[in-house]
Amino acid sequence: MMFLQQRSTIIIFLFSLLLIHLPKFFTTPDYPCKPPHSHYPFCNISLPISTRTTSLISLLTLSDKINQLSNTASSISHLGIPSYQWWSEALHGIATNGPGVNFNGSVKSATNFPQVIVSAAAFNRSLWFLIGYAVGVEGRAMFNVGQAGLSFWAPNVNVFRDPRWGRGQETPGEDPMVGSAYAVEFVRGIQGVDGIKKVLNDHDSDDDGLMVSACCKHFTAYDLEKWGEFSRYNFNAVVTQQDLEDTYQPPFRGCVQQGKASCLMCSYNEVNGVPACASKDLLGLVRNKWGFEGYIASDCDAVATVFEYQKYAKSAEDAVADVLKAGMDINCGTFMLRHTESAIEQGLVKEEDLDRALFNLFSVQMRLGLFNGDPEKGKFGKLGPQDVCTPEHKKLALEAARQGIVLLKNDNKFLPLDKKDRVSLAIIGPMATTSELGGGYSGIPCSPRSLYDGLKEYVKTISYAFGCSDVKCDSDDGFAVAIDIAKQADFVVIVAGLDTTLETEDLDRVSLLLPGKQMDLVSRVAAASKRPVILVLTGGGPLDVSFAESNQLITSILWIGYPGEAGGKALAEIIFGEFNPAGRLPMTWYPESFTNVPMNDMGMRADPSRGYPGRTYRFYTGSRIYGFGHGLSYSDFSYRVLSAPSKLSLSKTTNGGLRRSLLNKVEKDVFEVDHVHVDELQNCNSLSFSVHISVMNVGDMDGSHVVMLFSKWPKNIQGSPESQLVGFSRLHTVSNKSIETSILADPCEHFSFADEQGKRILPLGNHILNVGDVEHIVSIEIY
């Protein structure tokens, strides 16, 4: 909605509310720099953080240092420093995973936003930022009452490469540009830096303080839990430099360079034979080329995995040395607590290696204000229980669910139903009455409501049958009752799909079909109903529902994923026309035959010689149930490209570089080359241009609409994607009126791809930009 386009105004409003709250009575966490220890230089906030951190490290014993290398960092009593728990989770709200969070104090619940894959389907940067900001506020508020840490290991920005992956639900989907955009917005929001500078009107401040610390995970090429003989603990992801550069790495690069994340988590798996946490190449790239400033954490027990599962290291001490030398800073787990001292005694690790790691760790704690004295007197000291589960946050959770739900099918404009009719409704399916709609990495929601609860507010009477006793649906014992209530209701909603007993961490799927006998349940209920039925699909992973897509008795299909605590209300609002759906799928929905593709094959590009169809919309050449970006509305839309250049001219220069100018006519001979290397282009940013687009709502209903601009390559160049998303914009449209938007196109980024050496190349010739069914050609030439 429109208010989401004005995030600066909202942040100022929310933060002003936080500042006026009176202090509450609750237990506050212990903190460093209290008398008699406040005289130490590391407590002097007038000194640079680097100076304070170096001073602190100089006062530590070897034992002190080793005991800081675990997620459960020990207290340092002789300096008055309390223990600290690094591991808290906040993927889409403060979660119960990990030891850092508890709901046993004055805060009993926290806002449960939709699972990330659903929020990604909104294609709304402002929404992503505001979700992150709200989660950060609640995280800091819970820290202030001793119920959370300040380092939250989120977001998960791995590319959703394979539809069977159990954790794909946690990600922003399959497109690396979307993954990067999500990472940037969520991290900026949760860390609070952008929001606080806006509130304080201090845009030029060099203060790099953090509300909480975000951690982009899992670096890198991690997207397999368990498939056949492979598990995430022993899997060696064999990835080409080409695929690393233009698929797997961009979300992490954006997270670091634009999002300014203060943490990166290295993954369990090996990458090309080297454990990610022990890879000097990977971790060195992050710090030395991307400019990462923060700490690098291992996934939990990933250091032990280097020795115990992968057998990469010959001993436990070698494993410790390998990860520290590579640039990892902290181990989630106890492995380094137990083996670092002996690694030093054996000469495999030097104390300076520990100092380097500790500098990164303490620097982030300094930025969090943990060494600034009494936290109640700090920038965020007034945040408390009153700032968790606020009306504003619950409203935002509802808005996120509304925006992320995707209308997949709506034959004959069956939806929306008219709420004035006060009809009778039957709702069928094992997920219909559960209020656990958050998916993986959820906490305790503020105001959980089921789909049944949401729909019953809009109908005269409502009846329910589970049909299947659980989502696995191994029995048809409940079919008869479901069919009976379907026969008697005016309208029928069938809820089918997945839950976290079938897809989650450590659990991948083996099939893309609806589980068990669900397909039979849907078909039999549809055949018995008076009118065509509405199918609602839950779960984060793609489903082969081709049977429903082709069945005329199933007239409408909605994907709600894991919509969070407000999902029931959001679904009801869409079905009864109070909200016009505009979500778009952030991942391809493949047919069941895709399960023949080996899950351990990390290749993105299609290879016809071995029958390999490729992966994601950018490279997949096979059939699909629904494509990336698919999503219907109750309105129809038309587009016009109002302005965009038709030609980019790159002129050769004497130093081997190229310069660019926009020309309307060309009267020179073109050099015989088909591409240029992006790193040869001078001032690459100057190539950027805006594509101005007019969007006309030609329907009868106002509503949001997501404009998606794609590019296609001039010809079939080896290794080039089938198409590539340039940018997107979510707009609020008015019936029978037009609205304009602009999408920035950066040819060096959006028109390029990686060659086999991992170097980005920019093809020459005609590049086709398309929005909907409208195309615009931009020709790139060298003179």
pLDDT (0 to 100) of residue 667? 36
Question: How far from 442 is each of 97, 110, 196, 562, CA to CA, in Å?
Answer: 8, 10, 27, 10
Output the six-digit token pair for 173: 């989907």
Q: Which domains does the chain have, with CATH numbers?
A: 51-84+239-379 (3.20.20.300), 404-610 (3.40.50.1700), 637-782 (2.60.40.10)
For residue 364, which amino acid is it? V
Q: What mean pLDDT, rounded, does the chain reach?
A: 93
Question: How far from 16 is each of 10, 186, 200, 212, 471, CA to CA, in Å?
Answer: 10, 21, 10, 19, 45
Averaged pLDDT, 661-681: 58
Who has greater pLDDT, 675 or 428?
428
**DSSP conformational letter for 135:** H
| pLDDT confidence band for 207 (50 / 70 / 90) | low
Distance CA 129, CA 184 (A): 8
| pLDDT confidence band for 660 (50 / 70 / 90) | very low
| Backbone conformation region of residue 739, classed left if phi is above 0, alpha if psi is from -120 to 50, else beta | beta
Q: Is the Cβ–Cβ distance between 717 and 242 less than 8 Å? A: no
Averaged pLDDT, 612-622: 98
Averaged pLDDT, 542-549: 98
Could you report the per-residue pLDDT of 289-305, keeping only the tens digit for each? Answer: 999 999 999 999 999 99
Report percent pLDDT > 70 for the chain.
92
Question: How far from 180 is each of 346, 490, 578, CA to CA, in Å?
Answer: 42, 45, 32
| 296 contacts: CB under 8 Å, gap ≥ 6 | 263, 264, 265, 266, 283, 286, 327, 328, 329, 330, 360
Output the six-digit token pair for 410: 């709506």
The residue whose two tokens read 């965020």 is 380
pLDDT (0 to 100) of residue 630? 98
Distance CA 767, CA 777 (A): 6
Helix axes 193-200, 7-20, angle to 10 degrees: 80
Report percent pLDDT > 90 for the chain.
88
Distance CA 349, CA 299 (A): 21
Tell if the pTM clears 0.85, that is, is over it.
yes
The DSSP bridge pattern shows strands 554-561 and 406-410 to be: antiparallel
Q: Is the pLDDT of residue 668 over 50?
A: no
Could you report the per-residue pLDDT of 217-252, keeping only the tens digit for each? Answer: 999 999 999 999 999 999 999 999 999 999 999 999
Distance CA 635, CA 415 (A): 11
pLDDT (0 to 100) of residue 194? 61
Q: Is the Cβ–Cβ distance between 354 and 65 less than 8 Å? A: yes
Could you report the per-residue pLDDT of 372-394, keeping only the tens digit for each? Answer: 999 999 999 999 999 999 999 99
Averaged pLDDT, 41-70: 98
Distance CA 261, CA 271 (A): 22
pLDDT (0 to 100) of residue 116? 98
pLDDT (0 to 100) of residue 208? 84
pLDDT (0 to 100) of residue 659? 42
pLDDT (0 to 100) of residue 754? 96
pLDDT (0 to 100) of residue 652? 57
pLDDT (0 to 100) of residue 26? 59
- 48 upstream amide cis, omega within 30 of 0: no
Q: Which helix (H) or strand (E) holds 497?
A: strand 491-497
Q: Is the pLDDT of residue 353 over 70?
A: yes
Averaged pLDDT, 27-51: 95
Q: Is the Cβ–Cβ distance between 182 and 130 less than 8 Å? A: no
Length of the chain: 783
pLDDT (0 to 100) of residue 33? 97
Q: Is the Cβ–Cβ distance between 432 and 466 less than 8 Å? A: yes
Output the six-digit token pair for 481: 């009752």
The residue whose two tokens read 């982030």 is 364
Q: Is the Cβ–Cβ distance between 254 and 125 less than 8 Å? A: no
Output the six-digit token pair for 508: 């991948």
Question: How far from 499 is each of 439, 514, 522, CA to CA, in Å?
Answer: 7, 11, 17
Q: Is the pLDDT of residue 4 over 70?
A: no
pLDDT (0 to 100) of residue 8? 52
pLDDT (0 to 100) of residue 204? 42
Closest CA to 275 of 242, 321, 337, 229: 321
CB burial readout 440-459, b (16+ within 10 A) else e:
bbbbbbbebbbbbbbbbebb
pLDDT (0 to 100) of residue 206? 52
Q: Three-state DSSP class for 662?
A: strand
Q: Is the pLDDT of residue 583 over 90?
A: yes
Alpha helices in 489-620 (DSSP H): 518-528, 546-549, 567-575, 616-619
Q: What angle do CA 137, 143, 145 make, to 5 degrees?
A: 110
Q: Is the pLDDT of residue 200 over 90?
A: no
| pLDDT confidence band for 722 (50 / 70 / 90) | very high
Q: Is the pLDDT of residue 280 over 90?
A: yes
- 515 upstream amide cis, omega within 30 of 0: no
Q: Is the Cβ–Cβ distance between 754 and 719 less than 8 Å? A: yes
| 546 contacts: CB under 8 Å, gap ≥ 6 | 591, 625
Averaged pLDDT, 415-440: 96
pLDDT (0 to 100) of residue 307? 98
Q: Is the pLDDT of residue 135 over 70?
A: yes
For the chain, the distance separating the N- and C-terminal CA atoms, rounded to the nearest angstrom, is 47
**Which range, of 361-375, 630-644, 652-666, averages the lowest pLDDT?**
652-666
411 is an active site residue: no
The residue whose two tokens read 């089918």 is 496
Q: Is the Cβ–Cβ distance between 75 and 82 less than 8 Å? A: yes
Closest CA to 546 of 382, 649, 409, 661: 409
Closest CA to 570 of 723, 444, 399, 716: 399
Query: Hey, what's the torsion of the CAs at 513, 170, 86, 212, to 10 degrees?
Result: -160
Phi and psi angles of residue 298, each rounded to the nearest 5 degrees, phi first = -85, 155
CB burial readout 470-487, b (16+ within 10 A) else e:
ebbbeeeebbeebbebbe
Residues in a beta bridge with 403 = none
Q: Is the Cβ–Cβ distance between 450 and 442 less than 8 Å? A: no
Could you report the per-residue pLDDT of 148-181, keeping only the tens digit for each? Answer: 999 999 999 999 999 999 999 999 999 999 999 9
Rg (CA), the chain: 27
Given 299, 322, 353, 544, which residue is catalytic?
299
**Which range, of 271-280, 510-519, 679-688, averages the lowest pLDDT?**
679-688
Q: What angle do CA 37, 43, 49 make, to 5 degrees?
A: 155
Asked whether the CA dihedral 507, 510, 511, 515 is positive or negative, the reply is negative
pLDDT (0 to 100) of residue 252? 98
Judge residue 158's burial from the number of C-beta atoms within 10 Å of its C-beta, 0-12 exposed, 13-18 middle, 19 or more buried. buried
Distance CA 148, CA 144 (A): 8
